[in-house]
Amino acid sequence: MEWLWWIGAALLFAVVEVVTLSFVLIMFAGGALVAAIACAFGWPFWAQVVVFGAVSTFLLLTFRRYLVHRFRTSTPVARTNADALVGREAVAIAEVSESDGRVKLGGEVWTARVPRGAGAVAQGEHVRVVRIDGATAVVEPLALGTGTTDVPGPAVTGGS
């Protein structure tokens, strides 16, 4: 029944791995499972520890890199905070120049400016956020016909 200790260790490693997602402890869980098999066949404790170490090391060196790569490429990146605002459209509520201006962005009023060399944006024009510098949105005017309005259009009803 000593093999149950190895099974318990494997379960503990697996549970902690679920919390950390480091792809290290799951390799230790695999080593503990093989050590449990060695224990069930009556191998001495020192041999079980050697099997645990060898299998864990083998798994770490061969599978961890693949699993980390697979996890990172299959998990979508969620942009948050200021990064989520880049690329969004806004409306200039005051003239926006290289040094000053205000835009309505995501229902909030932001200080804004245009990049150097870009012309000023008149009040009411639609702009796109290029980047966020601190608490200032750096914006550029949208090309004609690509902007959207904040005012909803007339309701479309099905008819017949």
Phi then psi for residue 144, to 5 deg, are -55, 135
Residues 64 and 90 in one domain: no
**Is residue 44 located within the same domain as residue 90?**
no
Q: 88 and 67: one domain? A: no
Q: Are the beta carbons of 145 and 121 closer than 8 angstroms?
A: no
d(C-alpha 123, C-alpha 138), whole Å: 15
For residues 40 and 98, membership in a common domain is answered with: no
Q: Which of 94, 117, 76, 77 is nearest to 130 (CA)?
A: 117
CATH number of the domain within which 87 lies: 2.40.50.140
Q: Are residues 25 and 70 in the same domain?
A: yes
Its domain, for residue 87, covers 81-141
* Pair 44, 89 in one domain: no
Residues 12, 28 within the same domain: yes
Out of 25, 42, 74, a domain closes at 74
Residue 154 lies in a domain: no
Q: CA 33, 7, 12: angle at the middle one, nearest 5?
A: 105
Give me the pLDDT at residue 6, please. Answer: 95
Q: Quote the pLDDT of residue 42.
A: 94
Residues 26 and 52 in one domain: yes
* Cβ atoms 98, 74 nearer than 8 A: no
Give the count of domains, the chain: 2
| 63: CB partners within 8 A, 6+ apart | 27
Domain C-terminal end among 74, 104, 131? 74
- Out of 74, 103, 121, pick the residue that ends a domain: 74
For residue 48, the one-letter residue type is: Q
Question: What pLDDT does 80 receive?
Answer: 61
Round to whole Å and give the CA distance between 63 and 1: 30
DSSP 145: T
Residues 65 and 27 in one domain: yes
- Same domain, yes or no: 65 and 87: no
pLDDT tens for 28-73 read 999 999 999 999 999 999 999 999 999 999 999 999 999 998 888 8
- The per-residue pLDDT for 158 is 46
Residues 8 and 68 in one domain: yes
pLDDT tens digits, residue range 109-154?
989 999 888 788 888 899 999 988 888 889 998 874 444 444 333 4
